[in-house]
Amino acid sequence: MNRNEGSFTLPSLSSIKTAGIIGVVAAICMVLPLMIGFGSAKLSATSSLQGVILAGILFPAFLLALLRPRLLVSYTLLIWAVAPELRRISDWSEGVYHSVSLLSLAPLLTGATLAIPVLREIHKIQKSSTRIILLFAVALAYGALIGLAKNGMGSVYDLANYIVPLLLLPYFAVTRFKPKDIDRLLYAYANIAVLVALYGIVQYLTVPPWDAFWMRHADMMSIGTPYPLEIRVFSTLNSPGPAATFLVFALVPMILEKRWQGTLRWIGVLLVVVCLLTTLVRSAWLVLLVMLLVYIGTSPSKGKWKTLLQIVFVAAALFWIVPKLPGAEGLVARMETLTSVSEDHSYNERLGLWQNMLPMVAANPVGQGIGSVGQGTKLGNGGELGEYGNMDNGFIALLLTFGVIGALFFFGALGAIAKQIVSRVISKDNLQSYARLSLAAWTGAVVSLVSDNGFPGLKGYLIWMLIGLGLSAKEIIESSRKKGTPHAAIERKITSH
C-alpha cells in the first residue's frame, strides 16, 4: 500500500521474473533428487552409477542456464574436456568395459541446456542470424529424414552432435556478451586447455591404469601401447584427434593475445604445445598454421609484428625443449614426415579415399543421411563402427551424409557466415580482434575438412564457439548504437582491458 496516495503498487516485471526463476530452481532442487532415486531403483547398478554422475554433471548446467547464462559455455567446455575421462575411471573402478555408456551423453546433454537462454530470449534474434539458422535447419532436416529411413536410431545421436554445437549461434545472437565476458570465456578455455595438457603429459610419462584399461578393452592399440613413452596422448579426451583439436583451438588465441592466455601465461602456452606434440596429430598443426596466418594477415601492421615475434618466441622455446623431452626421437620423426608428404602412408590413403568415394557420391546424389558416417554408426552396429565409421575426408563425409541438395544448404550457410565475419573484419574498430579470431576459426574449420568432418561433436562446438564470439562482437556494436553509447567508449574499454 502506498501511504501517500492510498493505492496498491503492482510488482515490476523484473521482480516477477526473478521470483519465477527462484521458483523454477526450487522446483528442480525438490524434484530432481526424487527423479534420481526413482530412476536408480529401476536401473542396474552400473547404469545407476552412471545416471547419478550424469545428473551431478547436468544440475550445475541447468542452474547456470537459468541464472548465469554467460558462464554456461565455460562449464560445457569443461564437461566436453573431462567427461571421457570420467567414463574411463567409472569403467575401470567397476572392472568392466562398456562400449556404450550413459556418460557419453554428458557433453551433449550439458550443451543442450544452451536452449534454455535461447528460447527465453529468442525474440531478440536478428534477421541475419535467422537466415543462417534456417539454412542449417533445412540441411539437417533433410539429412535427418534420409537418416531415419536408412540408419534408424543412430541418426538421432548423430543429429544431436550437429544440433548441440549449432545452438551456440543463436545463443551468442541473443545473449549480449560484453568484451570482458568474451575475454573471460577465452581465459577460462585457456585454463582448461592447460589442465588437459598437464594431464596429457602425465599420461605420456606414466599411463594411468584407467587409461591403460580403456586402451586394452576398446581396442585402441592403433595409438600405441599402454606403456610410458609408447602412447599417442589423448589426455582426458576420447582419442588423440579430439585432444589435439581441443588444444589447437585454445592455443591459437593463447598465442595471439595476452589477455587470452590464461593464468600461467607463456608457461601455459608451452605446456599446451608440448602436449599437442605428444598427440602426434599432424593435421592439427596444419589447422594451427592456417588460423595463425589468417589472424596475422588481417591484423594491423603493428599487431602483425607483435604476433610474429610471439610465434618466433614459441618456436625457439620448442626448438630448445623438444629434443630434451623423454621419447623425443619418436616426436621428431613424426613431425619430419610433414616435409615428405608424398611418401606418407596416411596422405596416400586419404588421396585414394577421395578417388574411390567421389564416384560413389556422384552415383547417390540423395545421400546416406545423418547417422551414416562417424561415431553414430556404432548405435546400429552392436557398438562397432559401421562401413563409414572412419571417414578421413570431411568433404566426402558431408556429401555422403547430406547428398547434393543438403550439402548446398549446409555450404550455403557456411558462406553466409563468412560474409558476415568478413564485413566485421574490414570495419575499423577495436572489437575487430574477435572478428579476426572468428575468421581464423572459420578458415581452420574449412581447411580441416581435408582430413575429417569436424562440424559435429566437440570440434563443432569449438568452431561455433569461436565463430559465435566474433558475431557476438557485431551485436555489441549494433546494440550500443541503438542505445546511443558512443562507439569510442567501447573501444576504450577494450584497450584498457
Please give the average per-residue pLDDT across 314-339, as a whole number.
65
Is residue 489's pLDDT more than 70?
no
Is residue 75's pLDDT more than 90?
yes
Q: How far is CA 456 from the centre of its chain?
A: 9
Is residue 252's pLDDT more than 50?
yes
Number of helical H runs and strand E runs in the chain:
20, 0
Give the pLDDT confidence score for residue 44 in this predicted structure. 53
462 contacts 448 by C-beta, under 8 angstroms: no
- Specify the range with the lowest mean pLDDT, choosing from 6-20, 168-182, 298-312: 6-20
Query: What pTM, to 2 d.p., does this model score?
Result: 0.82
476 contacts 176 by C-beta, under 8 angstroms: yes
Q: For all residues of the chain together, what is the average pLDDT?
A: 78
- Report the alpha-carbon distance of residue 80 to residue 462 in Å, rounded: 10
Domain ranges of the chain: 24-113, 126-175+364-497, 177-339
Percent of the chain with pLDDT over 90: 26
The residue type of 92 is W
- Report the alpha-carbon distance of residue 45 to residue 50 in Å, rounded: 9
Is residue 365's pLDDT more than 50?
yes
- Dihedral of CA atoms 39, 44, 49, 53 in degrees, nearest 10, equals -40
Is residue 43's pLDDT more than 70?
no
Give the pLDDT confidence score for residue 3 in this predicted structure. 47
What would the pLDDT profile of 91-108 be if each residue is shown by its tens digit?
A: 888 888 877 778 888 999
Query: Which residue from 412, 452, 355, 372 is spatially nearest to 145, judged by alpha carbons?
Result: 372
Give the pLDDT confidence score for residue 324 in this predicted structure. 64
Give the pLDDT confidence score for residue 46 in this predicted structure. 59
What's 388's DSSP letter?
T
Percent of the chain with pLDDT over 70: 72
Give the pLDDT confidence score for residue 72 in this predicted structure. 92
Q: Can you spell out the DSSP letters for 70-88?
A: GGHHHHHHHHHHHHHHHHH
pLDDT band at 401 (very low <50, low <70, confident <90, very high): confident
- Specify the range with the lowest mean pLDDT, choosing from 19-33, 168-182, 388-402, 433-447: 19-33
- Specify the range with the lowest mean pLDDT, choosing from 33-42, 143-152, 211-220, 228-237: 33-42
Give the pLDDT confidence score for residue 314 in this predicted structure. 74
84 contacts 31 by C-beta, under 8 angstroms: no
pLDDT band at 497 (very low <50, low <70, confident <90, very high): very low
Give the pLDDT confidence score for residue 492 in this predicted structure. 47
Give the pLDDT confidence score for residue 246 in this predicted structure. 95
Q: Can you spell out the DSSP letters for 38-76?
A: HHHHHS-HHHHHHHHHHHHHHHHHHHHHHH-GGGHHHHH
- Specify the range with the lowest mean pLDDT, choosing from 42-51, 250-259, 452-461: 42-51
Is residue 1's pLDDT more than 50?
no
- Specify the range with the lowest mean pLDDT, choosing from 169-173, 212-216, 331-335: 331-335
What would the pLDDT profile of 350-363 be if each residue is shown by its tens digit?
A: 555 555 666 776 77
Give the pLDDT confidence score for residue 488 in this predicted structure. 46
Give the pLDDT confidence score for residue 223 in this predicted structure. 84
CB burial of residue 354 (10 Å; 0-12, 13-18, 19+): middle
Q: Look-up: residue for cell 568432418?
A: 453
